[in-house]
Amino acid sequence: MYIQIPGDKSITHRALILSLFTQGEDNIIEGFNQAKDCLSTIECLKALGLVVKNIDGRLITYNPDWKLNYTQNTNLDGRNSGTTIRLLAGVLAGAAGEFLFTGDDSLRKRPMARLVEPLRLMGAKVKYLDKDGYLPFSLTGGKLTGIKYKINVASAQVQSAIILAGLKASNCTIVSVPSLVRTHTQNMLKANNVIVKNLNYCVTGVKRLNSPVAGFNIKIPGDLSSASYFLVLGALLKNSHFIMENININPGRDLIIDTILKIGGDLKLLNRKIVNLEPVCDLEIRGNRKLTATTIDYKNIATGIDEIPVIALLMSQAMGTSYVKNAQELMYKESNRLDLIVSNLRQAGAEIKSCEDGFWVKGVDYLHGDSIWVTSGDHRMAMTGLIASAMAKHPIKVDNLACIDISYPGFLDELDKIMAKIK
């Protein structure tokens, strides 16, 4: 059975934001992700004066001023999208103007200090308007100076923000992360002839961009995070056989693939190729394999932090005891995912217990279900709950389905179609 996966959300954000570095040319983005998070980026770009049109399923963007000279204050509402806020803050730190960054109630609870600190060191002026370390804040851009900066928590968003700010800064900017994270920003810049130096897999250097990026045409591959739910469903369902084509498998975000292989799932990576410096392949998953426990820790947690909820569901059906360690970052996502993973799976019949920095889960033959799955408005928890319900002996009621549109508007229809064919 072939499953259609939407375009990569992370790459869609970055392709849109790359438009800010072009001048007076049409940029074409094909296969873009149409989730609410990406629509937030589009609305922010429009507020900044970019022209963004959807023509026959392709986004066409046009930037009249790559120097980013703004004469009036601009309000930028990221809604639920942390990527929108963090990447735009990096770009606009080097722009002439004052910008007000805000978001919804969920985004206002997510920490911003580790983004603001390096931007201040580079020369941007940031003022918190309510609570220190959180949205909303105002940012006054200006002349930036490149820095050498070490991020303590592996974050592709913060790394990307510093890289993008570095394109407007004098001297060289060097940013390092403690472990591998997704490299979409670096790949996209290099694919569009911007000089980026990967000193090693954790250290990136950039210099000031002195001329605009040429107009581009980017084809977005499928989103691995969106595919992860159907990969887990396919691994757990008897007699299943799913194929998802043209999926991005950037090594900084392939934890779901690595975990399925380590746990014993029948997963094949077919037709590998490189598109715009991004690795892409088809994913083929079959059920019926006996799964065995595994461990996720600091070595690879950052390569799939968003997929930990559905990975925990996979672990709940693997023989033995699986561990997830060094996962404190889950506490600061759209919800406290760490607490929700443990409480929801336990209510559904899993043998799971929280630890100081993660949890352990002992595999059971099946989930009993007949429970309420609490999402706290978190789209990834909601999709995980629906996959859990599809696997459970009795249905699980997910308390909020509307939030799924934040990242995957067509998820419910796709899941219903799959389950109807299986039945």
Tokens matching residue 127: 């003022």
Helix H or strand E encompassing 380: helix 379-391
380 closest CA partner among 337, 321, 324, 323: 337
Residue partners of 27: CB distance under 8 A and separation at least 6:
15, 18, 19, 60, 61, 62, 63, 215, 216, 217, 218
Residue partners of 419: CB distance under 8 A and separation at least 6:
390
Catalytic amino acids? 306
| Residue 117: burial class (beta carbons within 10 Å; 0-12, 13-18, 19+) | middle
- Per the CB < 8 A criterion, the answer to whether 214 and 22 are in contact is yes
Question: What's 394's DSSP letter?
Answer: B
Helix H or strand E encompassing 295: strand 295-296
Whole-angstrom distance, CA of residue 69 vs CA of residue 18: 16
Residue partners of 286: CB distance under 8 A and separation at least 6:
234, 240, 241, 242, 266
Residue partners of 335: CB distance under 8 A and separation at least 6:
106, 375, 376, 377, 378, 381
Burial 27-55 (b: 16+ CB within 10 A, else e): bebebbbbbbbbbbbbbbbeebebebeee
Q: How many CA atoms lie within 13 A of 226 on its CB side?
A: 30
Q: How far is CA 330 from CA 176, 197, 298, 333, 400, in A?
A: 21, 30, 13, 6, 19
Q: Where are the alpha helices (DSSP H) in 137-266?
A: 156-166, 184-191, 224-236, 255-263
Question: What's 212's DSSP letter?
Answer: P
Which residue is associated with the tokens 């438009």? 19
